[in-house]
Amino acid sequence: MPASTIIYDLGIRGYRAAVGLAATTGNAKARRWVEGRRDWRKSLEQHLPAGGPIVWVHAASLGEFEQGRPVLEAIRQEYPGCKILLTFFSPSGYEVRKDYPGADHVCYLPLDTRQNARDFIRLVRPSLAIFIKYEFWYHMLTALHREKVPVLLVSGIFRPGQLFFKPYGGMFRRLLQQLTYIFVQNKESVELLGQAGISNVALAGDTRFDRVWALQEENREVQGISAFIGDQQTVIAGSTWEEDEIFLADWWKKQAQEGRCLIIAPHEIEPAHINKLLTLFPAAVRYTDWVKQPGKAGKVLLIDNVGMLSALYRYATVTYVGGGFGKDGIHNILEPATYGKPVVFGPIFHKFPEAAALIAAGGGISIHDLETLEVQLEQLLQDKEACLHTGAQAKKYVADNKGATGKVLRYIQEKRFLTRL
């Protein structure tokens, strides 16, 4: 066995041990991660759909699922005889979408060991596998290649600092070469892969644009939100982390006034974090309490459940997307943009080319500290014309970048992956 594979396996087992330890010490997310994978072979045998070719779609978490969802639903519509297996790595994706009606079965992806991968592929026997954006699990992809299963990467994005392009990254470069086709978001990824000798690649764009455009066309209402807002200007802050929330609290202490309200949908909704937010915003009310007894318009609302943020943004005057002050960067800025809302976010967005593009299009604004947050929010809230123009530019940016789903579907049709069976 090559040394790189041994190191990889040690890393996988070390990760499993760390998650297991966290689960035993009270970490709820780790506990769900472990419990969700218990007896996975038996569960798969019992629930795996029969009666047609299986398309396996894998997403790391909720964001990647939403990104790949247009492709999944296009396959469902084009090939109604196919069965769709949807897997997640993270509990934050599985817990929200475990009952997703567009898939015939939803489950966790087993830990990526050699035996798990062999057993998983043997049980599923997919006719086509689709991975969203990333998640390059060595043993799973190797098993798929060994069984000659077509594998597509959708909405991939690559940067020079990634492992694939390091001198010691040969093991993972070979994985990319084994993929049937790689659909990437930007031309920089095409060029980078080409320099590494990987030619099974095409520029298709980002399927998230198709997904978020569909969201605004659905125009889904969120219970109780209109009553809370009334006729107030509304700042909706989504996927916030502690750094974001401290800045927002400082801004709100200075600028709270009649005719304004603030809605915060934090990334973490564990009770301990919600309690911290209640300390930062003493007059705030939890959403789950508000909907039980909605009253007159409120001032600060804390969203303490998951799955509604993408629909929530439609109620905003101005939006703020969190994560831009943490090492992992911003969350999904396209969801508020599709509703024609100005999008404000922090400075760390180098992993997300859509952020720079949205700024260039005039629909996004990056802030660097509390002072710039205050300046930008106040300019947008006090200048209605500028606010509407910025929002319109955000929506135009989304509209101009739709179409990646159709490119992926046409490739599947041309190669007859699901019609030659």
pLDDT tens for each residue of 6-26 = 999 999 999 999 999 999 998
Domains 37-205+403-415 and 220-400 share a fold: yes
| CA–CA dist 85, 45 (Å, integer) | 13
What the block records as the tokens of 384 is 């209605």
| pLDDT tens profile 152-194 | 999 999 999 898 999 888 899 999 999 999 999 999 999 999 9
- Residue 129: which H helix or E strand, with range? strand 128-132
Task: Say if residues 105 and 85 touch (Cβ distance below 8 Å).
Answer: yes
Average pLDDT over residues 323-339: 95
According to the model, what pLDDT value does residue 309 have?
Answer: 94
According to the model, what pLDDT value does residue 420 have?
Answer: 52
List phi, psi (to 5°) of 53: -60, 145
Enumerate residues 6+ apart whose C-beta is below 8 A from 1: none
| pLDDT tens profile 384-411 | 999 999 999 999 999 999 999 999 999 9
Mean pLDDT of the chain: 94
Domain 37-205+403-415 has CATH 3.40.228.10: no
Greatest extent of the chain over all pairs of C-alpha atoms, in Å: 68
| CA–CA dist 3, 303 (Å, integer) | 47
According to the model, what pLDDT value does residue 421 have?
Answer: 47
According to the model, what pLDDT value does residue 132 have?
Answer: 97
Share of the chain above pLDDT 90, in %: 86
Segments in 25-61 forming alpha helices (H): 28-36, 40-47
* Higher per-residue pLDDT: 98 or 306: 98
| CA–CA dist 118, 114 (Å, integer) | 6
According to the model, what pLDDT value does residue 195 have?
Answer: 94
Q: Where are the domains of the chain?
A: 37-205+403-415, 220-400
Average pLDDT over residues 48-77: 93
According to the model, what pLDDT value does residue 297 have?
Answer: 79
pLDDT of 1 higher than 80: no
pLDDT of 419 higher than 90: no
> In the 8-state DSSP scheme, what is residue 110?
P
| pLDDT tens profile 353-379 | 899 999 999 999 999 999 999 999 999
CA geometry: angle 360, 232, 222, nearest 5 deg: 80
List phi, psi (to 5°) of 40: -65, -30
Homologous superfamily (CATH) for 220-400? Glycogen Phosphorylase B; (3.40.50.2000)
| pLDDT tens profile 261-276 | 999 999 999 999 999 9
Task: Say if residues 59 and 130 touch (Cβ distance below 8 Å).
Answer: no
What's the predicted TM-score (pTM) here? Answer: 0.84
| pLDDT tens profile 209-265 | 999 999 888 889 999 999 999 999 999 999 999 999 999 999 999 999 999 999 999
| DSSP states of 8-39 | HHHHHHHHHHHHHHHHHTT-HHHHHHHHHTTT
